[in-house]
């Protein structure tokens, strides 16, 4: 069969790489792909992003399975367009993707269904938002309502920071947030204390299959300092998700969400990502929903997936996930993101990347992969930076420590000007002695 992966980041490189390893799959197209998917002989980049053009391409080239990586095509309704033409695709409809595309929708939904999350209020008026933070005090969290690639959130530790964030989001829109129909709005919410984890499931609207747990590192710099980013590294499994926490998340968050969306006439299909905050007593609350796999979580999760991804996704698209059980490598996978100079606000493009390892043979046992994200193949064949997060260097190891050592060993020879990466990915899972 032929498969199509929509998107061009590290998550999509990992999805395409994993699909290409399936004996069922003859060819994998990636739209638009990146420098890494261009280099891989088994993958084929297609320069398309428009939903109708993608559906035309899938029909014309005999693609029988499509999977969507990022939020933007989901919010643009690519799943609706494919389904209307009878094309099989894994992802939520535009209506269901509102769990991610509108924070206000997600928060209201959680309130209606009693799903644990932070207290919040939504504001379009800056003066009212300012007055609200004055009354509430700091720390407090200010979020832009709309798609901002993980950057539209300010965890304000002082009132001054909170006021600045409100002006920044409601007036300047210097973050480049893609607003919803209601225009610029902010969600202001209670600060939650605890440890974060990413809990991602695959669902056909009825059966829910939890993927391996993982943990992202949202802040730019070591020690969880600096601005929020789309994610600077991840590892799987996340020890904070104990069997007890896992059961609570399924029972209190995931199952009520899938059931609630179905009851409201917007059955959710595809990958649902619950970003969790787990307190010291092991009680999970939902920080956010994403209507897709996380990035860089997908890279570490897919490194550990032993099942045939094409087979799993076909069942998801057919509505027969009840016939699937997922098999995982018991080792830890850990991924370190190398980001461009100026990331997250002003990433620089066009820096040449040197020292990349040669691509692995497709039949070899792979214990390390350099997934490409913001890269492009220049006319002279060189790989250059072309986005904020450039690479995700991912490795497997018997422990978090050995996976970490291996990932940094693979990373060390890779060079581009201005590269930024954290040197402490996995720190929460490595016990101090």
Which residues lie near ligand GLY (CB under 6 A)?
150, 216, 230-231, 290, 294-295, 297
Residue (324 or 393) nearer to ligand GLY, CB: 393
Residue numbers 287-346 binding ligand AMP by CB under 6 A: 287-288
Q: Does 153 bind ligand AMP (CB under 6 A)?
A: yes
Instruction: Supply φ then ψ for residue 301, to 5 degrees.
Output: -65, -45
Residue (63 or 336) nearer to ligand GLY, CB: 336
Burial 296-321 (b: 16+ CB within 10 A, else e): bbbbbbbbbbeebbbebbbbbbeeeb
Residue 427 gets the label, from left (phi > 0), alpha (psi -120 to 50) or beta, of alpha
Residue (200 or 370) nearer to ligand AMP, CB: 200
Least separation in angstroms between residue 91's CB and ligand GLY is 15
Distance CA 79, CA 81 (A): 5
* Burial tier of 173 (Cβ tally within 10 Å: 0-12, 13-18, 19+): middle
Residue (45 or 122) nearer to ligand AMP, CB: 122
Least separation in angstroms between residue 281's CB and ligand GLY is 25
Q: What is the per-residue binding string for ligand AMP in 103-122, x denoting contact by CB under 6 A?
A: ---------------x----
Least separation in angstroms between residue 295's CB and ligand AMP is 13
3-state secondary structure 141-184: EEEECEECCCCCEEEECCHHHHHHHHHHHHHHCCCCCEEECCEC
Least separation in angstroms between residue 242's CB and ligand AMP is 20
Residue (91 or 275) nearer to ligand AMP, CB: 275
Report the DSSP beta bridge partners of residue 423. none
**End-to-end C-alpha distance for the chain, whole angstroms:** 51
Q: Does 145 bind ligand AMP (CB under 6 A)?
A: no
Q: 96 touches which of ligand AMP, ligand GLY, none (CB within 5 to 8 A by kind)?
A: none
Looking up tokens 């989901």, which residue turns up?
74
Residue (141 or 400) nearer to ligand AMP, CB: 141
Q: Does 231 bind ligand AMP (CB under 6 A)?
A: no
Residue (287 or 338) nearer to ligand AMP, CB: 287
Distance CA 29, CA 286 (A): 34
Q: Does 218 bind ligand AMP (CB under 6 A)?
A: yes
Please give the structure tokens belonging to residue 306. 């032993």
Q: Does 142 bind ligand AMP (CB under 6 A)?
A: no
Choose the stretch contacting ligand AMP; rule: CB under 6 A; options: 2-10, 123-131, 159-167, 189-197.
Answer: 189-197
Q: Does 191 bind ligand AMP (CB under 6 A)?
A: yes
Distance CA 204, CA 316 (A): 5
**Binding residues for ligand AMP, total number by CB under 6 A:** 16
Contact 193, 176 (CB under 8 A): no
Residue (146 or 270) nearer to ligand AMP, CB: 146
Q: 141 touches which of ligand GLY, ligand AMP, none (CB within 5 to 8 A by kind)?
A: ligand AMP
Least separation in angstroms between residue 294's CB and ligand GLY is 3
**R_g of the chain computed on alpha carbons:** 21
Q: Which residues contact 251 (CB under 8 A, 6 or more apart)?
A: none
Distances in Å between the Cα of 231 and the Cα atoms of 215, 224, 332, 337, 388 are: 10, 11, 18, 8, 11
Which listed residue (141, 220, 393, 419) binds ligand AMP by CB under 6 A?
141
**Interface residues toward ligand AMP, by CB under 6 A:** 118, 141, 143, 150, 153, 155, 189-192, 196, 218, 228, 275, 287-288
């Amino acid at each position: 069969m032929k498969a199509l992966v929509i998107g061009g980041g590290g998550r999509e490189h990992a999805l395409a790489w994993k699909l290409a390893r399936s004996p069922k799959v003859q060819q994998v197209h990636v739209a638009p792909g990146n420098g890494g998917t261009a280099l891989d002989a088994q993958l084929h980049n297609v320069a398309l992003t428009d939903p109708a053009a993608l559906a035309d391409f899938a029909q014309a080239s005999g693609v029988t399975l499509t999977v969507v990586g990022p939020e933007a095509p989901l919010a643009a309704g690519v799943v609706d367009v494919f389904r209307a033409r009878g094309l099989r695709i894994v992802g939520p409809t535009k209506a269901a993707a509102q769990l991610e595309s509108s924070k206000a929708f997600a928060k209201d939904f959680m309130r209606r269904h009693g799903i644990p999350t932070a207290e919040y209020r939504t504001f379009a008026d800056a003066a009212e938002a300012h007055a609200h933070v004055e009354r509430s005090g700091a720390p407090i969290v200010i979020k832009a309502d709309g798609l901002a690639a993980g950057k539209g959130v300010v965890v304000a530790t002082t009132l001054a920071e909170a006021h600045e964030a409100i002006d920044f989001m409601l007036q300047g829109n210097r973050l480049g947030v893609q607003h919803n129909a209601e225009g610029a709005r902010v969600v202001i919410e209670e600060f939650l204390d605890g440890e974060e984890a990413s809990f991602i499931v695959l669902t056909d609207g009825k059966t829910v299959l939890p993927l391996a747990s993982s943990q992202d590192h949202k802040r730019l710099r070591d020690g969880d300092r600096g601005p929020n980013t789309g994610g600077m590294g991840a590892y799987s499994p996340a020890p904070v998700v104990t069997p007890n926490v896992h059961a609570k998340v399924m029972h209190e968050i995931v199952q009520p969400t899938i059931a609630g969306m179905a009851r409201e006439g917007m059955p959710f299909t595809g990958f649902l990502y619950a970003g969790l905050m787990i307190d010291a007593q092991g009680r999970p609350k939902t920080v956010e929903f994403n209507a897709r796999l996380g990035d860089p979580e997908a890279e570490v999760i897919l490194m550990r997936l032993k099942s045939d991804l094409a087979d799993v996704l076909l069942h998801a698209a057919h509505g027969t996930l009840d016939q699937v059980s997922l098999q995982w490598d018991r080792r830890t996978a850990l991924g370190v993101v190398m980001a461009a100079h100026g990331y997250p606000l002003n990433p620089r493009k066009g820096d040449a990347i040197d020292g990349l390892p040669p691509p692995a043979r497709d039949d070899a046992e792979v214990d390390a992969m350099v997934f490409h994200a913001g890269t492009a193949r220049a006319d002279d064949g060189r790989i250059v930076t072309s986005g904020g997060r450039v690479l995700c260097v991912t490795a497997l190891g018997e422990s978090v420590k050995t996976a970490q050592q291996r990932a940094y060993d693979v990373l060390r020879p890779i060079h581009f000007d201005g590269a930024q990466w954290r040197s402490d990915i996995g720190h929460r899972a490595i016990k101090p002695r």
